């Protein structure tokens, strides 16, 4: 098949506005796109793939509106698919069906030959574990605030007492609670030792020394391109009020650049949305990397070509490993 005819596969839910715009961009360039949500399997998504005799995987992946040969997919953008659902089945049968869907369809999608993954679902899954990404960040050379993960209330209180200003952050995001039919997230909180009670013993919690920051930085890596934006807000967590944010496109310091390369290479990532706290001395403190983080909201106020950069990457189906900075 001619390279220009090879489709891009976008794996995400039906309400992903970021994916909508990138797909529109690809369509405008004449690039075929197949979009699917794993939550639509098996009624809205079917597949058949065979391997052996020197062939990795060949067969067809089909949705209600599109079809593609699994061996021809040039790039797979793994965004935010919904969970497999078998609500119509007996719970025990549903558990069986879910496992087989995950390891069957999921396994084939994770082993497509000659395909660029943005990101590979296994690599993205690894990085979603905050202890793992913090360890990788330290190994890569990022400055990381002192962090405690514990289920021991006294350890948490001692940590807060030792460091003075600490924050609590959820270990998994997004974490939603239904409160009077309104979905609410667990946010970042500034705590002292007197605020930490024995409920910490109920599960694992993450506490981190609060950086005395003057601003935040969102650094977005899309293949070979890097876009750094300073976010000024005066907020502990800028995500709590987007109307209070101002944005400035900035350069990435050399030390951060080197650590970024090591982090991406070590974890096998092609895309990453990195958050940093910037202190008065100009030090970038690593907070987290979201391997499937949003970028659409940042494009209008900065003018950065993020949608175009993602379309470029998926269309090209490869990365060179040489960073180009979007400033």
DSSP letter at 4?
Answer: G
pTM score over 0.85:
yes
Residues 6+ apart with CB under 8 A from 318: 116
Strand order in the sheet with 45-52: 45-52, 55-63, 67-69
Residues across the chain: 327
CA pair distance 233, 242, nearest whole angstrom: 9
Using an 8 Å Cβ cutoff, are 34 and 64 in contact? Answer: no
Using an 8 Å Cβ cutoff, are 325 and 225 in contact? Answer: yes
CA pair distance 193, 313, nearest whole angstrom: 47
Residue by residue, pLDDT tens for the chain (327 residues) are 556 689 999 999 989 999 999 999 999 999 999 999 999 999 999 999 998 888 888 999 999 999 999 999 999 999 999 999 998 899 999 999 999 999 999 999 999 988 999 999 999 999 999 999 999 999 999 999 999 999 999 999 999 999 988 999 888 865 555 566 665 566 788 988 999 999 999 999 999 999 999 999 999 999 999 999 999 998 888 888 899 999 999 999 988 999 999 999 999 999 999 999 999 999 999 999 999 999 999 999 999 999 999 999 999 988 766 556 555
């Amino acid at each position: 098949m001619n390279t220009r005819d090879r489709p891009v596969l976008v794996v995400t839910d039906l309400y992903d506005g970021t994916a909508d715009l990138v797909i529109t961009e690809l369509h405008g360039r004449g690039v075929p796109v197949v979009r699917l949500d794993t939550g639509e399997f098996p009624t809205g998504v079917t597949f058949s793939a065979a391997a052996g005799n020197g062939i990795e995987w060949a067969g067809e992946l089909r949705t209600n509106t599109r079809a593609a040969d699994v061996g021809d997919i040039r790039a797979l953008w793994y965004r935010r698919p919904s969970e497999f659902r078998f609500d119509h089945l007996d719970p025990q049968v549903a558990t069986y069906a879910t496992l087989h869907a995950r390891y069957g369809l999921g396994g084939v999608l994770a082993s497509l030959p000659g395909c660029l993954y943005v990101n590979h679902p296994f690599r993205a899954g690894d990085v979603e574990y905050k202890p793992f990404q913090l360890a990788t960040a330290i190994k890569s050379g990022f400055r990381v605030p002192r962090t405690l993960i514990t289920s021991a209330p006294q350890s948490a209180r001692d940590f807060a007492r030792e460091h003075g200003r600490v924050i609590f952050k959820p270990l998994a995001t997004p974490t939603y609670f239904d409160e009077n039919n309104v979905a609410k997230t667990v946010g970042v909180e500034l705590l002292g030792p007197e605020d930490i009670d024995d409920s910490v013993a109920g599960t694992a919690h993450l506490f981190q020394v609060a950086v005395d920051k003057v601003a935040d930085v969102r650094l977005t890596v899309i293949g070979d391109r890097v876009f750094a934006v300073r976010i000024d807000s005066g907020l502990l967590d800028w995500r709590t009020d987007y109307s209070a944010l101002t944005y400035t496109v900035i350069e990435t310091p050399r030390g951060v650049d080197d650590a970024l390369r090591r982090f991406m290479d070590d974890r096998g990532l092609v895309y990453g949305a990195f958050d940093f706290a910037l202190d008065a001395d100009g030090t970038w403190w690593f907070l987290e990397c979201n391997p499937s983080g949003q970028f659409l909201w940042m494009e209008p106020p900065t003018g950065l070509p993020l949608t175009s950069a993602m379309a470029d990457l998926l269309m090209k189906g490869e990365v060179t490993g040489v960073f180009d900075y979007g400033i």
